[in-house]
């Protein structure tokens, strides 16, 4: 199911206690993530480590150099952009890793008092389809030429030099879009044939214009006790600027376990229906 800003008026929410207690409700939410790439969960307890229990519903937390859980709190001593109060443009997370993290989760412990800090979501599949229709040649370049992504951190906390190359748009053998990988902040200089440099940058510029366009964006402000779960291989996320105290805890869960649990939920639900 492709979507754009018209979804703003029809974003469903899932009650945390119900998805924990009722497998049929959990299946509905899992299927929604499969179809739309994201879900909003309400009435999540605001305990410091609650995101650990939330993640267990979907799979196993993937640990990185940030740890199992990463706190997004604006601080004067920021090491990365996420630790500021600035607006951040739509992007996929951590494209400098191989494999790329699967599901991206955010749990809001405290929303900013100013009313800012809203989450912005973009359907990468919808943007890729629009580009395929408007600029077929540039679309095919993004399907063919790997884009280098890098993350170098050298300070008292980390010493990492992460590097991976990914095609911006991944197709399956039937030519269907199955993944989108976009993050201009982690892109490194292109390492490809000279004749492709300018066309690829032109294609990237066109794709970025599509995912940054207001008509592509769904905006949802997470309040305290709400969480968002996104497929990091499809949905780009961003945020608006804010002032004041805002505390988000985030983590990643690999996709293979999520889709395994989706299939087992379907099977169990079908068996129960047959038995009744």
214 and 125 Cβ atoms separated by less than 8 Å: no
C-alpha to C-alpha distance for 153 and 52, rounded to whole angstroms: 26
Predicted confidence (pLDDT) per residue in 50-93, tens digit: 999 999 999 999 999 889 999 988 654 555 666 667 889 999 99
Reduce the DSSP state of residue 40 to 3 states and report it. strand
* DSSP per-residue codes, 145-177: SEEEEEEEEESSS-EEEEEEEEESEEE-TTS-E
Predicted confidence (pLDDT) per residue in 11-27, tens digit: 999 999 999 999 999 99
C-alpha to C-alpha distance for 111 and 271, rounded to whole angstroms: 42
C-alpha to C-alpha distance for 101 and 65, rounded to whole angstroms: 13
Proportion of the chain above pLDDT 70, given as a percent:
94
| Domain 5-275 = CATH 3.60.130.10 | yes
pLDDT at position 255: 95
pLDDT band for 275, please (50, 70, 90 cuts): low
Predicted confidence (pLDDT) per residue in 115-158, tens digit: 899 999 999 999 999 999 999 999 999 999 999 999 998 877 78
C-alpha to C-alpha distance for 195 and 11, rounded to whole angstroms: 44
pTM: 0.93
- How many other C-beta atoms are found inside a 10 Å radius of the C-beta of residue 25? 15
93 and 180 Cβ atoms separated by less than 8 Å: no
Reduce the DSSP state of residue 93 to 3 states and report it. coil
Reduce the DSSP state of residue 187 to 3 states and report it. strand
Task: Please tell me which of 82-86, 152-156, 167-171, 242-246 the model is most confident about, judged by mean pLDDT.
Answer: 167-171
Find the range with the poorest average confidence among 34-48, 123-137, 148-162, 220-234.
Answer: 148-162
Instruction: Tell me the pLDDT of the chain averaged across its residues.
Output: 93
pLDDT at position 42: 98
pLDDT at position 156: 75
C-alpha to C-alpha distance for 270 and 130, rounded to whole angstroms: 36
Q: Which residue has the higher pLDDT, 82 or 111?
A: 111
pLDDT at position 32: 98
228 and 41 Cβ atoms separated by less than 8 Å: yes
- In this prediction, residues 88-112 reach a mean pLDDT of 96
pLDDT at position 232: 98
Reduce the DSSP state of residue 27 to 3 states and report it. helix
91 and 182 Cβ atoms separated by less than 8 Å: yes
Looking only at the bridges linking them, the beta strands covering 146-154 and 119-123 are unpaired
- In this prediction, residues 250-262 reach a mean pLDDT of 96
């Amino acid at each position: 199911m492709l979507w754009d800003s018209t979804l703003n008026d029809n974003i469903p929410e899932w009650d945390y206690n119900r998805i924990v207690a009722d497998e049929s409700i959990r299946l509905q939410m899992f299927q929604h993530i499969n179809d739309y790439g994201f879900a909003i969960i309400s009435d999540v307890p605001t305990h410091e480590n609650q995101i650990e229990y939330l993640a267990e519903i979907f799979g196993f937390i993937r640990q990185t150099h940030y740890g199992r859980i990463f706190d997004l709190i604006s601080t004067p001593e920021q090491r990365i952009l996420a630790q500021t109060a600035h607006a951040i443009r739509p992007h996929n997370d951590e494209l400098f890793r191989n494999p790329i993290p699967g599901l991206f989760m955010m749990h809001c412990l405290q929303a900013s008092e100013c009313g800012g800090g809203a989450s912005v979501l973009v359907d990468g599949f919808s943007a890729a389809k629009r580009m395929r229709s408007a600029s077929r040649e540039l679309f095919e370049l993004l399907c063919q030429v790997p884009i280098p992504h890098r993350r170098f951190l050298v300070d008292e906390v980390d010493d990492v030099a992460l590097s991976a190359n990914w095609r911006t748009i991944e197709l399956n053998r039937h030519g269907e879009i199955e993944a989108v990988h976009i993050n201009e902040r982690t892109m490194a200089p292109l390492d490809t044939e000279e004749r492709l440099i300018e066309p690829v940058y032109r294609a990237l510029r066109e794709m970025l214009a599509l995912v940054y366009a207001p008509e592509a964006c769904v905006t949802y402000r997470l309040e305290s006790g709400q969480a968002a779960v996104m497929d990091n291989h499809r949905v780009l996320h961003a945020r608006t600027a804010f002032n004041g105290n805002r505390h988000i805890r985030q983590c990643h869960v690999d996709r293979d376990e999520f889709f395994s649990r989706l299939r087992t939920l379907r099977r169990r639900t079908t068996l129960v229906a047959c038995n009744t």
